[in-house]
Amino acid sequence: MGNELIRMSAAELGSAIAAGQASAVEAAQAYLDRIEAVEGSVNAFLHVDRETTLAQARAVDARRAAGEELGPLAGVPVAHKDVFTTTDMPTTAASRILQDYRPPYDATVTARLREAGLVVLGKTNMDEFAMGSSTENSAFGPTRNPWDTSRVPGGSSGGSSAAVAAFEAPLATGTDTGGSIRQPAAVCGLVGAKPTYGGSSRYGLIAFASSLDTPGPFARNVLDAALLHEAFSGHDPHDSTSIDAPVPAVAEAARRADVAGLRVGVVKQFSGEGYQPGVLQRFQESVDLLESMGAKVVEVSCPSFDTALAAYYLIAPSECSSNLARFDAMRYGLRSGDDGTRSAEEVMALTRAEGFGPEVKRRIILGTYALSSGYYDAYYGSAQQVRTLIKRDFEAAFDNVDVLVSPTAPTTAFPLGERTDDPMAMYLADLCTIPTNLAGNAALSVPCGLAPEDGLPVGLQVMAPALADDRAYRVGAAVEAALRERSGSDFLSGSPYAV
């Protein structure tokens, strides 16, 4: 029965458990066995505790037996990015500086997963402190892409994307600061969404860039992503940036899957030089498909998007420089060189030198420089002005169209090690995703085929205005349904890790 449960979508599995056709314990057991079978090749997880997972599943079954009304995903396993605090598992943010750290409280996203009855399988690998686009910056080794284990799974949420793509979990959480859900979703052939900023709580999320970080879902189809989105989103008084408004009806939109009459804008700036031809080919086919389903397609120019990458790599490192100052060896985590002869300042310096990896150090240095008194206006201040221009470009575009579309990433998954010595090449992986983070809007990536050059997944990005997340899901679901009807099978059936 294990493989049968693993082949189900999250929605199907939740329904089967609710109907008594399976139990949460059986579902958890099936996925734990799958993790044991394939994890050695993928390295998606940093922590899995079979007994803790099964105890969670037994508790869900007991709640249902007691007559408690549970949500549609009750009993469904989920992989949890290791940047959300968890009281029953370590939370390391894939950094040596937090190795074996056990938080005293659950993140709001964690707590809401538990309330909804989802069963946390374990904590997934990531780029250290969510800084990267390949999950090669983890202190605990890189994660591999299940479509081709010589290639990256994207980042920073690459452990979560690889876990879902390898059928080690039906759902996963991630965080999106500059594309860290959408880009790994695209290169692993998954659905990944960045909710409206403030639509999902950052409380208990180890901060990278506080004005950008956004928790969101990974899934193998649009409806599953929407159900997970609804399960952990909503206003949280613990988060001062949380929006006090209803969660957009994303599951309803995913079931609607209709684009007739919608105005779709193709972003002019996201094409041309630097884009893999096969990515552009699949993207254009998706645009043609939308038009054939009744959408009105127009080209839209957003000139400030050309400067988004530069602005992001001043704003995000500046916020990271401030946020990571708290890791000082004085209260928790790693402490190096404390032999009784050194001052607190020396211990802090030695700990940070040993505990942070090269990419984290690079961004701390860059951010500290951008915030320094002589350069603040020239760098950080100017970047914030560009951010305002990007918001205005989005506002102008959404006056004329309902959603914007683009490739999610300029290329398919690149080989492990190819960009580790070239930070600028690595940063270009987020070229299409960053503007949405700077503006705070909603966006979603949905698979749109395989690139003919290498047979690897390509993602279509759908961008929507703030609090109009349902529009992105509606378009994504329509594309998904049309492509499934055309091929006669689910997209992931072509993966070497298909069950």
CA 191 to CA 452: how far, in whole Å?
20
Contacts for 386 with CB less than 8 Å, ≥ 6 apart: 304, 307, 308, 310, 311
Dihedral of CA 210/212/217/223: which sign?
Answer: positive
Check residue 288 and report its DSSP letter: H
Q: What is the residue type of 427?
A: Y
Per the structure block, which two tokens stand in for 334? 């790693």
Cα 163 to Cα 158: distance, rounded to the nearest angstrom: 8
Closest CA to 139 of 357, 320, 332: 357
Q: Which of 176, 410, 195, 403 is nearest to 283 (CA)?
A: 410
- Positions marked catalytic: 81, 156, 180
Sheet holding 457-464, edge to edge: 45-48, 119-124, 77-81, 171-175, 215-219, 191-194, 442-450, 457-464, 403-407, 263-267, 296-300
Burial label, 382 (beta-carbon count in 10 A; 0-12, 13-18, 19+) = middle
